[in-house]
Each structure stands twice: as C-alpha cells, then as structure tokens.
A and B are shown apart, each in its own frame.
Chain A
C-alpha cells in the first residue's frame, strides 16, 4: 500500500495540485504478484555486439516482444543497453544516444538496464575509463527517469557472457516488478554458475530456507515471499516473539523455531532442526536485527553490545556452524540484511551502522569460503522501508527521509524480500560477495 501522500498525488486533483506547486510526484510502483507477466510491452535491446545479439535471442525465447531498434512513439517496457565490449569512452555515444531517443517512450514503471564490465578488470586505461563511465552514466540517468521507472546495471566479470545464467537472472530480476524499489544499482556477476528455474513462478521449489527474525516486519515478509516462490521454511525468532512467529509459520506452512540467535549453539540448533524436519538446508537469511539509537556521546555498553551481538556477532557465529556442516554443501545460499546506514552513516546509529558495516565486510570475506561449495553469500542494504519501526520516526523527519530518493517514496518490506528471494535462488548462483541496495536510489551515501 502506497503512503498517504503517494496516494494523494496519484488522484486527479492531487496530481494537478502537486504539479502546480512543484511538489514531489511519487508513482505507485508496479509490484510482483504470482503469475504476473515479466513485462507488459516491448523490450528494446540496444547494442551491436555479439553479446547483444545473443541476449536479444535469449529474451525472444522467453516470448518477450524484443526490438533491436525502437519504433518511434511505441511505448516500451524496457530498454537494455548492451555495452559489453567498450574499449574507449568515445564508444559510449552511439548506443547511449540511441537509447536517449526512446526514453520518452518508456512506460510508467519501465526499466532501463545496462550490461557492462567492471572497470577494475579492464586491461587498459581507455577501457577502464569507458567502463567506469557507464557507472556515472547509469546512476545519473536513473535519477532522470520518472513515473516509477528504474535504471540498474549488470556488471559482467571477465569471461562471463551476456547469456550466462546469473546475467540472465539479474536481467530478469531488474526487468520484473520484483525489483520495484531497486534503482541506480549495479550487480556484479563473477562466474558462469547458476541456472534459470524451470518454473519462473516458483524459483525456490524444493529448497529449505531458514529466516531469522521472522516474527514480524521485513522478516515475516521475507517468509511470505520465499514461501510464494516455493521454499519450505524454518522460521526463527526469540521465544518472547513466539506467538507472532507461530502465526507467520502457520500462514506460510513452515515450522517455528523459538531461539535466541545470540546463543552459542544457535547455528547447530538451526541446522539440527532443518535437517531433522526437512532433511536438508539450502538457504539461510540473516534478517534478525535491532536498533538501539543513541548519540555516541550518550552511548552505553548495553546498547552498544546488544546491537553488535545480535546484528553481526550472531551472524558470524551461525555462519561458522553452517560452513562446518555437511548439510550445507549443496549450492548453499546465505543472504544477510545490511542497511544503507552501514554505507552512508546515520546520526544516532553508530552502533547499528557499525554492525551493518560489519555485515557487508563479513559477506565479502565469506564469499570465497562458500564458493568452494558452489555456494554464495550476499547482502541487501535496505534504505527507507515502510515498517512499524520507521512508522515511529517523527512525522517531519520521516516525510523527508521517505522522499530523499529517486522514486520519492519509501520502499515496502516486500521489496527487500523480493531481492533476498532473488539472491537466494539458483538464478543468482554467479553472484557472490555482493551488497545490493534496496533504497530507491537514496540520495545519500550513493
């Protein structure tokens, strides 16, 4: 449900008033529902490299309405810019200006996606300049898009084809309504690992997933989303939240495990429960987290330690148990919830930002350890999400925080959940050690 202001400016009267006063005009975002088509119009693939041809052919095989050149005045669902062979910044001009001509034809909630290569892996200064140029270009263009449209990029590691499973997985995710609140972001695909699911509506069929902090808010939404995508769920939360946990578990046909994740044996108990009840464990979502905000000058030991213990120390300890377990060896997936506070910083949240920065550091360092088992670990960093927690922020502060992004609105718990579901899927097998922001391209800390 869109916030009140967004609803208002999407009414006839509200729209004209907002336009006359120059107020923000957030769009009602298209969000994913089971069985929904991937896109609702033609997709134009811009670029003349073999990689562009192969991608266009692949998208055709998905029964999409694919164009290699835009038809003037035809409304487009997406523009995909394939920039996989850039050797010099001058080469940007042709594809970029070709896309520019179609921008006004992009539908509401349309998509712009670039495919390019990481500058760090470039073999020459020219190529590095061109590749880094895509970064600045995409982030700026995303800020120009209107009416709920988003712009995101896929970075293809050296030797990774435009049609490798996780590139296609990422393109699919960015095209879909699942990525409604992901904007101005790049996602790196480093290997050819992964596989597109046989049934795109149930990408997690047959998987057993654990979600911590699942009793309410974003955790409960993650549970619902993973369940919708076909996973069998083990839901974890502290014993004191057991009644809400039971209610979520009964809703998603999972099992409730009342457990304090800061306990020394929490990892083992989670593994034991999943293995005893379901014979396997494929996905762990570290969502449990708390805030105990205080200016640093007023910070006390209890607030500091509680946040560090729950938000990062527990994840580290549980991961050690997972990595040591023989039951977590078949393309395992870990997805952690970080926060844009850990990237950009947030006044009054030194403890929280330290813990969330810690999550991102942990994810990057754990990635190689999981890769040996064909597994991945990634994080999502939510920005302003409409939850009970953010609803308690004073009105004026909340209203400002909510509008300070390219989509001019707060995200929904489902936006975080959809991104986690994607990173937990087989289609993301080539994405490892990444932090993906779900922030509507927040204007701070970009």
Chain B
C-alpha cells in the first residue's frame, strides 16, 4: 500500500558502523520566571534580562554558583541582531562560571524543547556532563526593522568614500523607506498568520467552539490549582513583581469564554471559532532546565526527576496545503512511539503545547481518525486516543501564556516534576509525552520517563 504520508521504515539490517555506547541524560529540575502578557510587567525587560533571571534562579535553587556547566543552550524566536550571542551574554551576567560554553538555537516555538533534546543527546554521548537548556522571548521588546530601501542606503553610505557619492546615495531615499517594519507572525510563504493557518485546520477537523473553550477553561483551572497547591514553588522564581503567570484567569468560565468574539478565521463567518480566549496571547518570559549525567548529579547530591528518553522532529508541507501549519507533531509522535515500541496507552501524562486550543484538538482528532491513520500514518487504522484526564494536568500555554522559545523549558520542567511525583506515589516508573508545534510547519516531540 502506498502511503502519501510520513513513516519511518524499520532498518532492514543493523548499522555496520560501531555506535558509541550511550548513557542516560537526567533532568535535575527547572526554573522559569512567571510569564507576563506582552506590554505588561516585563515590557522594559530584554531577552537577555529575562534569560539571566531564569538562569540565576536555577543556579540559586541548585547551588550552581561558579559551576562550569558542560554547555548551556538557549534561544529566542524574536531576536535582535545585537543578541547574536544572547545565551553567552546571559551566562556571563549570571552566577555561573564565565568559562561555561554555550550555543544559541532558533527553531521557532520548538526552540526550548530542541535545546533539551540537543543537550540530552550530548550528555548521552558523553560529550558533556551537564547542560542547561532554555529559551526566552519578549513580544514587548521585539526588534523593529528598517525598510529594505533604507537598509540598502545605510550600507551603501558606509561604503561610499566621497561627499558627492554620499549625496547621490542619499537622494535615493523615499519617504516610504523611513517607515519601520513592524514584526509580524505571518508565514513568509503563505502570508497567513499562524492563527489564520490554524483556523483552516480547525475547520478541516471540524473542531467545535465549545470543545476549544472547554480546553481553555481546563488549562486555566488546572494552572490555578497547581499554583494553589504550591506546585510551582520549586519551578519558578518571581521576577519584576510577578509571582504568577499574568495571563492566568483562575475565575474564567465557559460563559465568559463563550462571550468572546472570534479573532481568527473570520472569513468563515458563523463558522469561526477561534477567540482570544482559546488562543495563546503574545507573552514575555524565560525558562531553563538543568540536565546532567547520573554521575554529575550524584556527585553534587542533586535530585534526579526524570530521564530524557528519546525525541523526534517532523515537518509538514503546509505551503501547498497538504497539512495544517501546526500539525507536524501528528506525524512525529507515531514515528517516535513506533521506534520505542510504545502506544498512547503507555503514557501517564501528555503535555501538548496549546498554541491554540484547536491545535491540540486537531492533533487528537487526526490521531483518532481511521482514514488518516491508514493513508497518512501508514497504520492499520487510527493511531489512537488519549485519556483526556492525563492531558496538560497542571495547565498549559492557554493559561500560562507562550513566550515562544520559553515554552519547551516550561513543559519539560513541569512534566519532569510530575513524573517523579507520580512514580513515588504509584510505586512504578511513569512516562510522559511532550509535543510542541512550531512555525514553518515544524514540530518536536519527546518522551520523558520518571526516575
């Protein structure tokens, strides 16, 4: 049967080359600053400020002052050109050893999770003993870009040697060149914003307004309950007067959510379902996760919450409309679980990033669809369904907010703590799945297992 989708056939014969023995990469813990709504408490904070604060909170929690970490990896989606060495600058401003090497990474909303995966892999290979993964984004302090015309004039002026040359170059300037270009979230190849893309997918999978609002409601209630129980006491360090995510609406209700007007897919008329309530707002924030080898963690008497088991990335052809922009995890998860010999029933928790409520629901719908399973995933039937009581149990992006690159670290820190607690209470290992969709039709997913 020909599959017009994405599968990974099992290797027909074992790899011939010698593969180095690998070891376990463990998650020691996480730290983030509360997420603020754009233009809110962190309006005057730069990415570097926020990432440094998140790092310093992590250092204080685990006593890492002057520690030379194997490598720190972090990044931002909305990044100023001056921040080419954002992570290194943040590390130099933190209490870590100045001899800590870093790399910056940029993979849209999957940035944070990809830094976890990359550093975990280095630990598994024995290349580093410890790593700090992270991400930060500021929608408030976003770069503003000059027009292409002005940019060319400035560069040419720099190269010019004589006054007549300079005057000639300046004469090329037109008033419209002086208007700055505001940052946009539109996909360059389609011109559609992420919300408009999701609106297409939402309509395709016939996700109801009510189902989206209900998911948003759960996100807020779950996050509020987590705060009330002190769940975040060792996952978060306050910043600039914020002690909780500013976007959290503990008292929201189905009625309040139902009263909001659709903001995406308005060309669908009465069928438009996506509102500000069931979509994530623009957010500022930063998160970090401390990763280590068993030896490194043990030598410092650090806790070990969970292991990074495996990860998978996928991308979809949204440009030609074959799949929805945010549907890459739909393909990544079956490939990952197939490789690991697992099914959706083998997981205690699911952390599916709520870019939009409809993103999560479209993903679940695709997995539950017999036809999609057969024709696109190459399975006998539907990939499967999940126990919804295990989904985003301590809230997710709809309530917490979504500072793009910081979301992966938020999820990994949260899930690692949940898995550790679950294993302790259930007396057996616990397993969790992380799924993050990203701009450009990308997605990264990962499996964590309790320690």
Q: Is the C-beta of B66 less than 8 angstroms from some C-beta in chain A?
A: yes
Q: Is the C-beta of A440 less than 8 angstroms from some C-beta in chain B?
A: no
Q: Which of B211-219, B233-241, B332-340 is near enough to bind chain A? A: B233-241
Q: Which of A3-11, A132-140, A235-243 is near enough to bind chain B? A: A235-243
Cα distance A257–B62 when bound, in Å? 9
Q: Which of A240, A247, A279 contacts B243 (CB 8 A)?
A: A240
Whole-angstrom distance from the CB of B66 to the nearest CB of chain A?
7
Contact residues in B for A250 (Cβ distance below 8 Å): 56, 59-60, 65, 95
Please state if B236 and A239 are interface contacts (CB–CB under 8 Å). yes
Please state if A249 and B301 are interface contacts (CB–CB under 8 Å). no
Please state if B230 and A276 are interface contacts (CB–CB under 8 Å). no
Q: Is the C-beta of A245 less than 8 angstroms from some C-beta in chain B?
A: yes
Whole-angstrom distance from the CB of A371 to the nearest CB of chain B?
30
Cα distance A240–B239 when bound, in Å? 9
Cα distance A359–B349 when bound, in Å? 46
Contact residues in A for B60 (Cβ distance below 8 Å): 245-247, 249-250, 254-256
Please state if B53 and A276 are interface contacts (CB–CB under 8 Å). no
Q: Which of B167-190 contact A (CB under 8 A)?
A: none
Cα distance A276–B63 when bound, in Å? 12
Whole-angstrom distance from the CB of A41 to the nearest CB of chain B?
39
Considering only CB atoms, which chain B residue lies closest to A276 in the complex?
B301
Given A246-B60, A255-B62, A258-B233: A241 and B303 interface contact (C-beta under 8 Å): no
Contact residues in A for B301 (Cβ distance below 8 Å): 276-279
Given A255-B60, A255-B61, A279-B301: A243 and B66 interface contact (C-beta under 8 Å): no
Q: Which of B57, B232, B302 contacts A243 (CB 8 A)?
A: B57
- Which of A240, A255, A256, A276 gathers the greatest number of chain B CB atoms within 10 Å? A256
Please state if B66 and A253 are interface contacts (CB–CB under 8 Å). yes
Q: Which of B59, B62, B234 contacts A258 (CB 8 A)?
A: B234
Contact residues in A for B59 (Cβ distance below 8 Å): 246, 250
Cα distance A245–B239 when bound, in Å? 11
Given A250-B65, A255-B62, A276-B303: A242 and B236 interface contact (C-beta under 8 Å): yes
Q: Which of B32-74 contact A (CB under 8 A)?
A: 53, 56-57, 59-63, 65-66
| Number of A-B residue pairs at CB separation under 8 A | 63
Whole-angstrom distance from the CB of B1 to the nearest CB of chain A?
54
A-contact bits for B296-322, CB 8 A (1 contact / 0 none): 000001110000000000000000000
The 16 sampled A-B contact pairs (Cβ below 8 Å) are A239-B232, A240-B243, A242-B236, A242-B237, A242-B238, A243-B238, A246-B59, A249-B65, A250-B56, A253-B66, A254-B60, A254-B63, A255-B62, A255-B63, A256-B237, A260-B230
Cα distance A259–B230 when bound, in Å? 9
Considering only CB atoms, which chain B residue lies closest to A252 in the complex?
B65
Whole-angstrom distance from the CB of A221 to the nearest CB of chain B?
17
Considering only CB atoms, which chain B residue lies closest to A240 in the complex?
B243
Q: Which of B57, B65, B66, B302 contacts A242 (CB 8 A)?
A: B57
Please state if A259 and B63 are interface contacts (CB–CB under 8 Å). no
Cα distance A253–B238 when bound, in Å? 20
Considering only CB atoms, which chain B residue lies closest to A234 in the complex?
B63
Q: What is A's interface to B at a CB cutoff of 8 Å?
A: 239-243, 245-247, 249-250, 253-260, 263, 276-279
Whole-angstrom distance from the CB of A432 to the nearest CB of chain B?
31
Q: Which of B281-302 contact A (CB under 8 A)?
A: 301-302
Contact residues in B for A258 (Cβ distance below 8 Å): 233-234, 237
Q: Which secondary structure dominates chain A's binding surface?
A: helix
* Known interface pairs A250-B95, A257-B234, A259-B233; 14 further A-B residue pairs with C-beta atoms within 8 A, sorted by A's residue number: A239-B232, A239-B236, A240-B238, A242-B57, A242-B236, A242-B238, A246-B59, A253-B63, A256-B60, A256-B61, A256-B237, A276-B301, A277-B302, A279-B301
- Give 3 closest A-B pairs by Cβ, nearest first: A246-B60, A249-B60, A250-B95
Please state if A239 and B95 are interface contacts (CB–CB under 8 Å). no
Contact residues in B for A257 (Cβ distance below 8 Å): 234
Given A240-B243, A242-B236, A242-B237: A277 and B57 interface contact (C-beta under 8 Å): no
- Which of A241, A249, A250 gathers the greatest number of chain B CB atoms within 10 Å? A250
Cα distance A277–B66 when bound, in Å? 17
Contact residues in A for B303 (Cβ distance below 8 Å): 276
Whole-angstrom distance from the CB of B132 to the nearest CB of chain A?
14
Considering only CB atoms, which chain A residue lies closest to B94 in the complex?
A250
Contact residues in B for A243 (Cβ distance below 8 Å): 53, 57, 237-239
Contact residues in A for B232 (Cβ distance below 8 Å): 239
Instruction: Kindly state the interface size class of chain B when it binds its partner.
Output: 20 to 34
Cα distance A257–B63 when bound, in Å? 10
Contact residues in B for A253 (Cβ distance below 8 Å): 63, 65-66
Cα distance A250–B232 when bound, in Å? 20
Cα distance A279–B302 when bound, in Å? 11
- Which of B95, B236, B237 gathers the greatest number of chain A CB atoms within 10 Å? B237
Considering only CB atoms, which chain B residue lies closest to A242 in the complex?
B237
Contact residues in A for B56 (Cβ distance below 8 Å): 246-247, 250
Q: Which of B233, B239, B302 contacts A239 (CB 8 A)?
A: B233
Given A247-B56, A256-B60: A239 and B243 interface contact (C-beta under 8 Å): yes
Cα distance A322–B230 when bound, in Å? 23
Q: Which of B236-266 contact A (CB under 8 A)?
A: 236-239, 243
Given A276-B303, A279-B301: A239 and B238 interface contact (C-beta under 8 Å): yes
Whole-angstrom distance from the CB of B126 to the nearest CB of chain A?
26
Contact residues in B for A255 (Cβ distance below 8 Å): 60-63
Considering only CB atoms, which chain A residue lies closest to B33 in the complex?
A243
- Which of A245, A246, A263, A276 gathers the greatest number of chain B CB atoms within 10 Å? A246
Contact residues in B for A240 (Cβ distance below 8 Å): 238, 243
Contact residues in B for A277 (Cβ distance below 8 Å): 63, 301-302
Contact residues in A for B237 (Cβ distance below 8 Å): 242-243, 246, 256, 258
A-contact bits for B199-240, CB 8 A (1 contact / 0 none): 000000000000000000000000000000010111011110
Considering only CB atoms, which chain B residue lies closest to A248 in the complex?
B60
Whole-angstrom distance from the CB of B158 to the nearest CB of chain A?
42
Contact residues in A for B53 (Cβ distance below 8 Å): 243
Cα distance A253–B97 when bound, in Å? 12
Cα distance A259–B234 when bound, in Å? 9
Whole-angstrom distance from the CB of B30 to the nearest CB of chain A?
13
Cα distance A247–B55 when bound, in Å? 11
Contact residues in A for B236 (Cβ distance below 8 Å): 239, 242
Contact residues in B for A256 (Cβ distance below 8 Å): 57, 60-61, 237
Contact residues in A for B61 (Cβ distance below 8 Å): 246, 255-256
Whole-angstrom distance from the CB of A43 to the nearest CB of chain B?
40
Cα distance A247–B52 when bound, in Å? 12
Contact residues in A for B66 (Cβ distance below 8 Å): 253
- Which of A253, A260, A279 gathers the greatest number of chain B CB atoms within 10 Å? A253
Considering only CB atoms, which chain B residue lies closest to A278 in the complex?
B301
Whole-angstrom distance from the CB of B362 to the nearest CB of chain A?
36
Please state if A241 and B238 are interface contacts (CB–CB under 8 Å). yes
Cα distance A56–B236 when bound, in Å? 56
Contact residues in A for B65 (Cβ distance below 8 Å): 249-250, 253
Whole-angstrom distance from the CB of A315 to the nearest CB of chain B?
20
Please state if A246 and B233 are interface contacts (CB–CB under 8 Å). no
Cα distance A243–B63 when bound, in Å? 15
Cα distance A260–B228 when bound, in Å? 12
Whole-angstrom distance from the CB of A411 to the nearest CB of chain B?
28
Cα distance A254–B59 when bound, in Å? 9
Considering only CB atoms, which chain B residue lies closest to A239 in the complex?
B233
